């Protein structure tokens, strides 16, 4: 069985893979439907579906998006500098708690996981695996040290409507 530290490392990889898949789907939707992310489903609620079969749902919030796709729910924030590679502990823990497959796969993280996952993230910073970026009091993202400066990371390329681009 994997140690708790190894489980958190694997959980991060699964979380990021889900985020990258969500961003790819959002970008594909943006290619087909410029400005879709600005439309409100109801006042103040920008949400809808990314596919014609209405199986992949998105809901923009604040600086990020919640995407439910193929039985997986992933929530993330876009970084101020435009990326999506940051690992926010709150979103990582929600990914674990809101996806039964993750709970089953990482059983030792299910007991008091908020505290344990946060402590392990700090251990990964101490051993140089992760780097921490503190942008503000409520933004404590972590990054893989190996990814810092990597030009091949997923890009965020949501397109606004042509009308907005002209203005």
Local confidence pLDDT in tens for the 167 residues of the chain: 788 899 999 999 999 999 999 999 998 888 888 777 777 776 667 888 998 899 999 999 888 899 999 889 999 988 776 677 888 899 999 999 999 999 899 888 876 557 889 899 999 999 999 988 766 666 678 888 887 666 555 555 555 544 434 33
DSSP assigned state of 45 = B
Judged by DSSP in three states, 67 sits in strand
Beta-strand runs (E) in 78-158: 130-136, 139-144
Residues 6+ apart with CB under 8 A from 10: 2, 105, 106
End-to-end CA distance of the chain: 56
The predicted pLDDT at position 99 comes to 93
Residues 6+ apart with CB under 8 A from 138: none
Q: Give the dihedral sign, CA 85/90/91/97.
A: positive
State the pLDDT at residue 157: 57
What is the distance between the alpha carbons of residues 4 and 130, in angstroms, rounded to a whole number?
Answer: 16
Residue 79: what pLDDT? 76
Is residue 72 classed as helix, strand or coil in its secondary structure? strand
pTM exceeds 0.75 for this model: yes
Residue 143's DSSP bridge partners are 131
Sign of CA dihedral 17, 19, 23, 25: positive
């Amino acid at each position: 069985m994997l140690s708790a530290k190894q489980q958190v490392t694997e959980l991060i990889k699964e979380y990021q893979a889900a985020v990258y898949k969500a961003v790819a789907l959002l970008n594909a939707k943006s290619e087909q439907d410029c400005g879709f992310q600005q439309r409100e489903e109801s006042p103040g609620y920008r949400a809808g579906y990314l596919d014609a079969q209405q199986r992949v749902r998105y809901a923009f919030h604040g600086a990020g998006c919640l995407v439910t796709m193929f039985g997986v729910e992933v929530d993330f924030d876009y970084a101020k500098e435009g990326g999506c590679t940051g690992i926010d502990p709150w979103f990582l823990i929600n990914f674990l708690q809101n996806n039964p497959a993750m709970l089953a796969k990482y059983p030792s993280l299910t007991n008091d996981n908020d505290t344990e996952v946060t402590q392990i993230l700090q251990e990964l910073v101490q051993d140089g695996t992760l780097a921490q970026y503190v942008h503000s009091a409520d933004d404590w993202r972590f990054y893989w040290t190996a990814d810092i400066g990597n030009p091949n990371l997923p890009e965020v390329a949501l397109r606004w409507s042509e009308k907005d681009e002209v203005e």
